[in-house]
Structure 1
């Protein structure tokens, strides 16, 4: 089992299934996205540049997607918190992931990288 796989399979349900589904949705967005591990969390890179991370909030115990260039994205569900550059999108693991909305947001984020 790879370090990437271990992150997912060491989680309890419903987070495990949710995180695996998020992983699949992210990887399907573009053939240039590759998964690695940075800072102990799954990192998805677009052409070797960090694009999004997956993590579980230590307080709520719910998964979220961290958008590296979140400050450049305007979406009502993205939270900046105390971060100046990054924003997160919280994902409720017990309801269906809004796949179309998530794909649209991921594509908007990818467009920031494609234009560079």
Structure 2
């Protein structure tokens, strides 16, 4: 657990606050969501399967949520950004986080994990 929180605390503002807020939104969304660190970034699991990551652009430091089942997620805020399977949702750390929008995409991603939306 200590490694999990340290990954957030090592970030400069405004990324740190943005990631901590996203962490809270994601963790509170479903009691079956747990977290770990993978590839040096926060990773969220649903029933022990990767749901999403918190990631940042290497050049701009702009944060985004990276969803693992991108091929099965269909939401206008999601983009492949050159990836083949994962889709991302950009988040502006200098503006209010669109909480309901994040929750919509999380709900869809969980439905895919539960087999309620086709993979």
TM-score normalised to the size of structure 1? Answer: 0.94
Question: How is 1:61-76 mapped onto 2 (pairs within 5 angstroms)?
Answer: 61-76=61-76
Q: How many pairs are equivalent?
A: 116
Match of 1:46 in 2: 46
**What is the CA-CA distance between 1:59 and the residue it aligns to?**
1.6
Stretches of structure 2 lacking an aligned partner (at least 5 in a row)? none
**What is the CA-CA distance between 1:87 and the residue it aligns to?**
0.6
Match of 1:21 in 2: 21
Match of 1:114 in 2: 114
SS of match in other structure, 2:29: coil
Stretches of structure 1 lacking an aligned partner (at least 5 in a row)? none
SS of match in other structure, 1:78: coil
SS of match in other structure, 1:28: helix
**What is the CA-CA distance between 1:3 and the residue it aligns to?**
1.2
**What value does the CA root-mean-square deviation take over the aligned residues?**
1.3
Match of 1:87 in 2: 87
